[in-house]
């Protein structure tokens, strides 16, 4: 009997040591927290814990995109003029001078018999020889040829067209229906045009993180704001060698763990994901074992002096759950619901009870002997 008392006493001593009790737990906001007297590594020193309140939510809330114009883009489109490049094919027409006009009957292809811009950026034209045209607009080329031919013809009337656009292109890759190489011609091409030419985006695309790569620099654009909200500030006029990449939504996920019905990994859809939605998608937290005051969201901190930002929702008053409907989760967030103290105690009992029973049986056997 003395042995049983000793075991029970040891069990009670064991239970008051928080670090030895199994079961998930995170230290929440407390006015009694004091720095450790022992100088050693402790991740809690680099954790920033914030209690979720209406004031905190207002500070975290990002402005929703709204319909807006893009005057800069409109001006770029208005002033757009295609400049020819190496590989383009020009078709030059000199009116009333058929001998200088490229014959292009119904069985002739202007692209094949036109004036190809060579690797030096030149075309050859009768009477005037090599003409450097690369980097010039059609209007500039027309003016240049008119000036040169005026030495040989009286008041020549010239028209210049691009028979084949071969020098400039943009690339559309990633989670689109048909990744494509889109030629850039005399009609300006925008981001919207490029996405539409690729057949639109797939269901598993990350709408909010489309990457436009230009001159080895990346710009992140939000197609959700552009398509769903009409925010034209997210649209761009594309240039030669631009790469539009629509990533998959593999990285837009959050993890829900702890005392919930079904621990799961959830995808953030293009409309976003709130804390309430995340908890609902896993069946809610386990009311028998969860500590309602200990619902935590762990997020990598942007503060260089901290490692983790921990947002705590105290839902011991169920009315506080309304705050969960306003808390927007971010990719790679971890939602953790801690165990109630009684649940952690029950886990201690369940782990030690077989040993206690075994020792009790052994004690009874010794007494019988």
Over residues 182-203, mean pLDDT: 94
> Average pLDDT of 327-341?
87
Average pLDDT, the chain: 82
Structural domains of the chain, ranges and CATH numbers in brackets: 21-33+41-61+252-347 (3.10.560.10), 71-79+168-249 (3.10.560.10), 89-164 (3.30.1950.10)
**Weakest-pLDDT range from 17-26, 188-197, 290-299:** 17-26
Whose CA is closest to 267, among 285, 283, 248, 284? Answer: 248
What confidence tier does 345 reach under pLDDT thresholds 50, 70, 90?
A: very low
Distance between CA atoms of residues 269 and 328, nearest Å: 12
Mean pLDDT of 28-35: 52
pLDDT at 341: 58
**Residue 158: strand pairing partners:** 94
pTM strictly above 0.85: no
> What token pair was written down for 107?
């069985």
Alpha helices in 120-262 (DSSP H): 138-149, 191-197, 223-229
pLDDT tens profile 162-180: 999 999 999 999 999 999 9
> For residue 338, what pLDDT is reported?
86
- In terms of C-beta density within 10 A (0-12 exposed, 13-18 middle, 19 or more buried), how is residue 52 classed? buried
C-alpha 271/C-alpha 260 separation (Å) is 24
Q: How far is it, in rounded angstroms, from Cα 161 to Cα 114?
A: 10
Rounded distance, CA 32 to CA 284, Å? 30
Contact status, residue 164 vs residue 92, Cβ threshold 8 Å: no
- Inform me whether the pLDDT recorded for 350 exceeds 50: yes
Predicted local distance difference test score (pLDDT) of residue 293:
84
Is the Cβ–Cβ distance between 102 and 94 less than 8 Å? no
* CA separation for the pair 274, 97 (Å, rounded): 72
What the block records as the tokens of 237 is 């006029």
For 289, residues 6+ apart whose C-beta sits below 8 A from its C-beta are 259, 339, 340, 343
Q: How far apart are CA 276 and CA 321, in angstroms?
A: 7
Convert the pLDDT of each residue in 258-312 to its tens digit: 889 999 999 988 888 999 999 999 998 887 888 888 889 999 888 888 888 889 9
């Amino acid at each position: 009997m003395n042995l049983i008392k000793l075991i029970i006493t040891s069990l009670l001593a064991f239970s008051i040591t928080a670090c030895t009790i199994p079961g998930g737990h995170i230290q929440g906001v407390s006015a009694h927290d004091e720095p450790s007297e022992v100088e050693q590594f402790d991740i809690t020193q680099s954790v920033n814990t914030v209690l979720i309140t209406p004031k905190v939510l207002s500070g975290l809330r990002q402005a929703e995109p709204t319909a807006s114009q893009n005057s800069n883009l409109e001006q770029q489109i208005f002033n757009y003029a295609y400049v020819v490049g190496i590989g383009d094919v020009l078709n030059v027409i000199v009116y009333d001078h058929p001998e200088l006009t490229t014959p292009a009957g119904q069985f002739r292809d202007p692209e094949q018999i036109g004036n190809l811009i060579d690797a030096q950026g030149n075309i050859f034209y009768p009477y005037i020889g090599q003409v450097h045209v690369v980097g010039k607009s059609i209007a500039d080329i027309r003016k240049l040829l008119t000036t040169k031919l005026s030495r040989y013809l009286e008041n020549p009337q010239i028209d210049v067209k691009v028979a084949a656009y071969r020098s400039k292109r943009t690339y559309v890759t990633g989670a689109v229906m048909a990744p494509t190489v889109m030629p850039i011609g005399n009609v300006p091409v925008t981001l919207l045009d490029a996405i539409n030419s690729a057949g639109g985006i797939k269901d598993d695309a990350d709408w909010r993180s489309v990457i436009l790569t230009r001159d080895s620099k990346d710009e992140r654009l939000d197609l959700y704001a552009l398509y769903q909200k009409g925010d034209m500030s997210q649209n761009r006029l594309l240039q030669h060698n631009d790469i539009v990449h629509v990533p998959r939504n593999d990285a837009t996920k959050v993890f829900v763990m702890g005392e919930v019905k079904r621990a799961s990994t959830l995808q953030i859809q293009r409309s976003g994901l709130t804390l309430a939605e995340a908890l609902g998608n896993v069946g809610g937290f386990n009311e028998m074992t969860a500590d309602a005051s200990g619902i935590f969201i762990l997020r990598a901190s942007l503060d260089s002096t901290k490692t983790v930002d921990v947002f705590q929702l105290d839902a011991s008053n169920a009315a506080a759950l309304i705050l969960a409907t306003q808390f927007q989760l971010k990719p790679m967030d971890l939602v953790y619901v801690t165990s109630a103290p009684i649940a952690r105690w029950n886990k201690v009992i369940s782990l030690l009870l077989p040993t206690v029973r075994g020792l009790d049986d052994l004690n009874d056997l010794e007494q019988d002997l």
